[in-house]
Structure 1
Amino acid sequence: MNPVIDHIQITVKDMGVAEPFYDKFLPLLGFDIKNKVSAVIEEHDFHVVEYTHPLLAFAITSPRGAFKEDTINRRKPGALHHLAFKAESHNEVDRLSICLEEIGAKMLNKPKIFTEYGPNYYAIFFKDIEGIKYEIVCNKP
């Protein structure tokens, strides 16, 4: 088996806030918004919006009612610390940095080389509208 991820599903705090952000964010990564599907499964207290791409499906999901007031914290056990997407070039990281600012992402840094991760580790870190942390990285010279 090859360690290839089929899909990622992220629980967000508020679907009404998160969905418009992801509608703008995921097309920047090559997802076609026309391939978005949505479902509500009442018996599981579950609303999901899935964005599909030939290489990966990415979904956002509502929290269970019992957890709706919980805060997002990437350092809780079982939580997603952050998710990194691979860019093809430093120029792509730069371009996406500008686009992410335009759609309201909270930028944590300007594009730069993070020598602590490697001599060519060129990346940006940012948070979505609710505080979930992401990264776009190019690890090429």
Structure 2
Amino acid sequence: MNRFSHIDLRVNDMATVLPFYEKLLPELGFTRTFHSANWKVFAADGELPSAAYFAITEDREHRPNDNLIGFWAQDRTEVDRIAEIVKQIGGKINDGPRLFPISPTYYAVYFEDPCGNKYEMLHRLN
């Protein structure tokens, strides 16, 4: 059972980062939106509140740190595709896509949103 429920993400500039997430999150399966004045919510398939969702709010005092959010990829091709999308929509690639010495099949790309929040897209067989 995957126990993931949701992410409540702070960003320091919603106007800068929202176009990035409007392109990235649907590519990761968060295709439905439930926005309010203070929250931009992107949900995966399923019924709320049990559907996984990614919620973004602005906090002008937020400072990105070394926390990292990881997403599974179906295969290496998907890792490569997401890396290209990140580059096209204003994200920063920090490393990869490539094999990492975590396991013999650990293929990933590490990247940041325009506000500096960190992510990983990975595929591995073991």
TM range, smaller chain: 0.7 to 0.9
How many residue pairs were aligned? 121
CA offsets 1:112-133 (integer angstroms, 9 cap, x no match):
1111x21111000000011000
Give the alignment partner of residue 34 of structure 2, picking from 37, 42, 65.
Answer: 37
Are 2:80 and 1:94 aligned?
yes
1:112 aligned residue? 98
2:16 aligned residue? 17
CA offsets 1:24-59 (integer angstroms, 9 cap, x no match):
111111222xx212213xxxxxx1110011251111
Q: Is the 8 A contact 2:11 2:62 kept in 1?
A: no
Secondary structure of the 2:84 match is: helix
Query: Is there any run of 5+ residues in structure 1 with no aligned partner, and where?
Result: 41-46, 76-80
Are 2:53 and 1:57 aligned?
yes
Q: Is the 8 A contact 1:85 1:137 kept in 2?
A: yes
1:43 aligned residue? none
Q: Distance in 1 between matches of 2:96 and 2:111?
A: 10
Q: Is the 8 A contact 1:112 1:123 kept in 2?
A: yes
Out of 52-61 and 125-134, give the one that drifted further.
52-61
Q: Distance in 2 between matches of 1:114 and 1:3?
A: 24
1:125 aligned residue? 110
Give 1:140 deviation, angstroms: 2.0
- The structure carrying a bigger helix percent of its residues is 1
Q: Is the 8 A contact 2:64 2:115 kept in 1?
A: no
Letter matched to residue 91 of structure 2: A
Q: Is the 8 A contact 2:30 2:54 kept in 1?
A: no
Higher relative contact order (CA 8 A, sep 6+): 2
Note the aligned Cα RMSD (angstroms).
1.7
Query: Is there any run of 5+ residues in structure 2 with no aligned partner, and where?
Result: 46-50
Give the TM-score, by structure 1 length.
0.78
Give the TM-score, by structure 2 length.
0.87
Are 2:47 and 1:48 aligned?
no
Q: Is the 8 A contact 1:86 1:138 kept in 2?
A: yes
Q: Is the 8 A contact 1:89 1:140 kept in 2?
A: no
